Structure 1
Amino acid sequence: MQVSRRGFVTGLAASTLGLAATPTLAQAQVASGEGYVQAARLGGDVGYVVMDARSGQVLEARNPTMGLPPASTAKTITTLYALETLGTNYRFGTWLIATGPVVNGVIQGDLVLSGGADPTLSTDHLGAMAAELARIGVRGVTGRFLVWGGALPYAEEIAKDQPVYVSYNPSISGLILNYNRVYFAWKRAGNGYQLTMDARGDSYTPTAYTASMQVAARQSPLFAYSDRGGKEQWTVAAPALGRSGSRWLPVRHPTAYAGDVFQTLARGQGCPLPSPQEAKTAPVGTVLVTHASQLLPTILQDMLKYSTNLTAEAVGMTSSTVRGLPAARGRSGTAMSRWIAAKAGTQAIDLVDHSGLGGASRVTAMDMVRVIAAGQPMGLRNLVKPFKLRDAAGRNLQSQPFAVDAKTGTLNFVSSLAGYMTAPNGRELMFAILTGDVDRRRRTQDEDRPAGSVEWVKRSKILQSQLLMRWGAVYG
């Protein structure tokens, strides 16, 4: 990037302010964006654009057309895609379907647990469905217990460039339970450990019989995974356990997992079922019980707040399905990239997924601001959460001088921020800040927390606050 002599001198002046700290508004007026970037010592690349929300005028930019991983800021695109495609009144559904009549409490045929790609379905929801099945008098079946997850194309994981054991990278299916995660807990018992794998909710804690765990006498890897005949088998390194603890692990066979859990819950309600089998085709029959999700905007708001990757994949792939576009992992991301190009005039967005988890996705700061602008009339600012400016230590400022509502995104050696800000004088601005050391990320992509990544992301987030303070002072 070319830096003018004026920018260089301003950068030197800014360095005397102590760029490790978030500046005051008065200090930010004499500092330069380039000075902040250089002081952050990130390595890699930094691109940003700030735009006047009313006129669309670009007020300041650095590497505006450089493609960088968007991380979870990609979820803003998925949000707009889902809102336009599915609508604000859309709810995901999960159904219990009988293929024959119920006679004296027994289904004369099969019972099918049919998923409609609800990303928020929980064990407690399945427990309520089992209780409703019992309430209407169903006590068994003459046929099979089937599980249908074909509403979305199956994928073993969201992204290939993540450690095998991270819970935010589970499988994708049309039947999703507990974000396709299983709960692993351990407690020291005698000379060994008591291990449990369950599908816990607030009201129910059924054992997950589709997954098992064993302790291995090794230093690394922390977890190892194998699939033996559909049974998910995990081992954990003994030195990592300590006295007790727990964590969620990803599920790779979601339909089997959901079927196993529902069979246990139904048995507890006095309705024993055969072992679950995966249905090969969409079920046809009488709907006995329905669970409906919350409305789509609530799901999207939670997705943006908690950055749930599987929710993004479910709503994005469902949107592609409804549009009649390819919905498989990767292909659905491409379809959404083409949609946003037509919708917002973006020129270089290339997404491999809907969540931003895959490190191969690329956006530019200029295109991300176009997304933010397209989201303005669709209510995107009301869905993203308020952003807290940070001080020199990376802590939230005690007093925030202006409002910022934005989506964050974080991967190892990648940090992004895109959204809206109201300057101190009331001027509305839109912005995107992308930072990434792509080569360093690639070298450490199989590690959960590689050395130096946490500190790198912390410096990037401080830089983001410094830039926002500058724009609030200079353009507000």
Structure 2
Amino acid sequence: MGLDRPLFSRRRMLALLLAGAAVPARADAPKTSLRPRRRGETAPPPLPDTRAAGTLVAAAKLGGAVGFVLADAKTGLVIEAEGGDLPLPPASVAKAMTALYALEKLGAGHRFGTRLLGTGPVVDGVLQGDLVLVGSGDPTLSTDHLGDMARTLAARGVKRISGRYLAYTGALPGVAAIDRDQPDHVGYNPAISGLNLNFNRVHFEWRQGGGGYAVTMDARAERFVPAVTMARMQVAQRDLPVYTYAAGQGGDNWTVAVTALGKGGSRWLPVRQPDIYTPEVFQTLARAQGITLPAAEVVRDLPAGTALAEHVSEDLAVILRDMLKFSTNITAEVVGLAASGAPTLEASGRAMSDWAAARFGITARFVDHSGLGGASRISAADMAAALVRARGTTSAAMLAGLLREVGMRDATGAVAEGHPTRVLAKSGTLNFVSGLAGYIVPSEGRELVFAIFCADVARRDRLTLAERELPEGGQAWTKRARRLQGQLLHRWGTAFV
């Protein structure tokens, strides 16, 4: 990357001026802050030759573009940058912005509730009216939670109902898939509903026998393993494609290639119609408690009724901690949709983009809240600016505590065990896209903010749908990108803290 090319536009320089700190506009800019020092103030250390960082980027041989920014977390002074003004896909690094957004809009103590309402009294074991399964979009709801609710309903004396069994899903807009450019069968790209269950995944298991293959589909959790009929699987006599999917009137229809199965195995598949899946699983669990329910009817308007059972999620802060640790896409989308109140996922992404612009003075385009959509764009400069400008706010202070510790690195980019400097960050990976952003926190010295984005967008865009689950060269590219990120962390942790 040429050292004589401007790193930031005038607009971006102004966006990064925090508390009077000036931003070097070029890699060969003055090696000290352009802000006049106050009397008694210590001069910042001189910057080393930035060509060292450029050499690391060139050696990674990633193609496409690389953008990174390192800044002082307190003042916002940009210490080192290369390609920082390039808008690139953030992948799951977007979840850090989603966490800030949700904490500010919903509050750290926000909880999602799932309830059973009765529209009439219980007389001699019969609910005189409708039973309503009411969802709030809880992304952490599991089969075990529904099983406990079924037990509570049985303890209330309910054996059957005189009216309808309703499933209210109107708390969130229905989304068939987070990103339509992903293969149908990948579990990290589920549907979204006001009633989500098991991260909207179904467990597919197969065993070879004398007469062919026995297949099962279930909604297992730790304590309950109910069979599922709405997700159906057929073994097909073919080599490719491995899976096919078609939406049916009453559920999800899958086929799998016989040559891909071997003697046995299992995997999680996405649920594309959670409005059918979740109420069916509860119906099965209720039956095990001696409660007979008719087939569910999905409604978008919430009926009035009396609460008969309820499950309440953990606080939002706990949910976000797990989201950032395990990078659960459905959690990011649910909390983002709940925060925005928008009618579609696309509109919700725009709402978060507008919020980021107003809140942090940055320019970003989010098409979702998880980063799964490859059309999202943010520059390393804007990501770092947001993390700096968020400092001092309750949500940002909490974010630092929720981020996963990824570890300081050695000169090869590998984790340096026992290093006194902590790195709290969110990583992100798509095909030929890799990002890392967060905080470098030394035991002594100044805290730093950084953002690193690597992307070969043209190579990613050339992939066919069939290639997107495991593209040729993708794993090696990601390994090189992560090694580069580790080498930059080592450079910064050694030279600047």
TM, length-normalised to structure 2: 0.88
Which residue of 385, 403, 412 maps to 1:370?
A: 385
Which residue of 454, 465, 469 maps to 1:448?
A: 469
Secondary structure of the corresponding residue to residue 43 of structure 1: coil
Q: How does 1:335-346 map to 2 (within 5 A)?
A: 335-346=351-362
Q: CA offsets, 1:439-467, max 9 Å, x none?
A: 11111262201010111011000000111
Assess if the C-alpha contact under 8 Å between 1:29 and 1:470 holds in 2: no
- How many angstroms apart in 1 are the aligned matches of 2:387 and 2:449? 7
Q: CA offsets, 1:394-450, max 9 Å, x none?
A: 754444352100000000100000000024752210000000000111112622010
Where does residue 145 of structure 1 map in the other structure?
165
Residue identity opposite 1:33 in structure 2: A
Q: Report deviation, 1:227.
A: 1.5
Residue identity opposite 2:335 in structure 1: V
Residue identity opposite 1:362 in structure 2: R
Q: Report deviation, 1:371.
A: 2.2
Secondary structure of the corresponding residue to residue 357 of structure 1: coil
Determine if the alignment matches structure 1 residue 408 to structure 2 residue 423: no
Q: CA offsets, 1:273-327, max 9 Å, x none?
A: 0111112422211111111000010000000000000000000000111xxxx24
Determine if the alignment matches structure 1 residue 260 to structure 2 residue 280: yes
Where does residue 203 of structure 1 map in the other structure?
223
Residue identity opposite 1:411 in structure 2: L
For residues 374 and 7 of structure 1, do their structure 2 counterparts lie closer, same or farther at Cα, with a shift above 3 Å needed?
closer
- How many angstroms apart in 2 are the aligned matches of 1:29 and 1:107? 76
Assess if the C-alpha contact under 8 Å between 1:423 and 1:473 holds in 2: no
- How many angstroms apart in 1 are the aligned matches of 2:473 and 2:72? 36
Secondary structure of the corresponding residue to residue 32 of structure 1: helix
Where does residue 467 of structure 1 map in the other structure?
488
Q: How does 1:77-226 map to 2 (within 5 A)?
A: 77-226=97-246
- How many angstroms apart in 1 are the aligned matches of 2:283 and 2:290? 11
Where does residue 47 of structure 1 map in the other structure?
67
Determine if the alignment matches structure 1 residue 351 to structure 2 residue 366: yes
Which deviates more from structure 2 when the two are superposed, residues 387-396 or residues 253-262? Answer: 387-396
For residues 30 and 351 of structure 1, do their structure 2 counterparts lie closer, same or farther at Cα, with a shift above 3 Å needed?
closer
Which deviates more from structure 2 when the two are superposed, residues 424-433 or residues 377-386? Answer: 424-433
- How many angstroms apart in 1 are the aligned matches of 2:462 and 2:176? 23
Which deviates more from structure 2 when the two are superposed, residues 353-362 or residues 279-288? Answer: 279-288
Residue identity opposite 1:340 in structure 2: A
- How many angstroms apart in 2 are the aligned matches of 1:146 and 1:222? 36
Structure 1 residue ranges without an equivalent (≥5):
9-27
For residues 55 and 280 of structure 1, do their structure 2 counterparts lie closer, same or farther at Cα, with a shift above 3 Å needed?
closer
Q: Report deviation, 1:335.
A: 0.3
- How many angstroms apart in 1 are the aligned matches of 2:472 and 2:456? 14
Residue identity opposite 1:472 in structure 2: G
For residues 60 and 395 of structure 1, do their structure 2 counterparts lie closer, same or farther at Cα, with a shift above 3 Å needed?
closer
Q: Report deviation, 1:390.
A: 5.4
Assess if the C-alpha contact under 8 Å between 2:117 and 2:308 holds in 1: yes
Q: How does 1:205-354 map to 2 (within 5 A)?
A: 205-321=225-341, 326-346=342-362, 348-354=363-369
Q: CA offsets, 1:110-145, max 9 Å, x none?
A: 101010010000000000000000011111100111
Secondary structure of the corresponding residue to residue 258 of structure 1: helix
Q: CA offsets, 1:202-244, max 9 Å, x none?
A: 1100011101111111111111001122321101111111111
Where does residue 57 of structure 2 map in the other structure?
37
Structure 2 residue ranges without an equivalent (≥5):
6-25, 29-47
- How many angstroms apart in 1 are the aligned matches of 2:277 and 2:413? 40
Flag the structure with more relative contact order, 1 or 2, with Cα contacts below 8 A and sequence separation at least 6.
Answer: 1
For residues 375 and 148 of structure 1, do their structure 2 counterparts lie closer, same or farther at Cα, with a shift above 3 Å needed?
same
Residue identity opposite 2:459 in structure 1: R
For residues 30 and 113 of structure 1, do their structure 2 counterparts lie closer, same or farther at Cα, with a shift above 3 Å needed?
closer
Where does residue 479 of structure 2 map in the other structure?
458
Where does residue 15 of structure 2 map in the other structure?
none
Q: Report deviation, 1:344.
A: 1.1
Where does residue 14 of structure 1 map in the other structure?
none
For residues 247 and 45 of structure 1, do their structure 2 counterparts lie closer, same or farther at Cα, with a shift above 3 Å needed?
same
> C-alpha root-mean-square deviation of aligned residues, in Å?
1.9
Which residue of 62, 65, 86 maps to 1:66?
A: 86
Assess if the C-alpha contact under 8 Å between 1:7 and 1:34 holds in 2: no
Assess if the C-alpha contact under 8 Å between 1:195 and 1:213 holds in 2: yes
Q: Report deviation, 1:44.
A: 0.7
For residues 218 and 262 of structure 1, do their structure 2 counterparts lie closer, same or farther at Cα, with a shift above 3 Å needed?
same
- How many angstroms apart in 2 are the aligned matches of 1:372 and 1:77? 9
- How many angstroms apart in 2 are the aligned matches of 1:302 and 1:137? 37
Assess if the C-alpha contact under 8 Å between 1:212 and 1:233 holds in 2: yes
Assess if the C-alpha contact under 8 Å between 1:31 and 1:470 holds in 2: no
For residues 30 and 56 of structure 1, do their structure 2 counterparts lie closer, same or farther at Cα, with a shift above 3 Å needed?
closer
- How many angstroms apart in 2 are the aligned matches of 1:293 and 1:362? 32
- How many angstroms apart in 1 are the aligned matches of 2:318 and 2:275? 25
TM, length-normalised to structure 1: 0.91
Where does residue 418 of structure 1 map in the other structure?
437
- How many angstroms apart in 2 are the aligned matches of 1:396 and 1:216? 45
Determine if the alignment matches structure 1 residue 435 to structure 2 residue 454: yes
Which deviates more from structure 2 when the two are superposed, residues 298-307 or residues 401-410? Answer: 401-410
- How many angstroms apart in 1 are the aligned matches of 2:476 and 2:410? 15
Residue identity opposite 2:337 in structure 1: M
For residues 453 and 248 of structure 1, do their structure 2 counterparts lie closer, same or farther at Cα, with a shift above 3 Å needed?
same
- How many angstroms apart in 1 are the aligned matches of 2:420 and 2:118? 59
- How many angstroms apart in 2 are the aligned matches of 1:96 and 1:108? 14
- How many angstroms apart in 2 are the aligned matches of 1:376 and 1:218? 56
- How many angstroms apart in 2 are the aligned matches of 1:4 and 1:423? 32
Which residue of 402, 405, 409 maps to 1:386?
A: 405
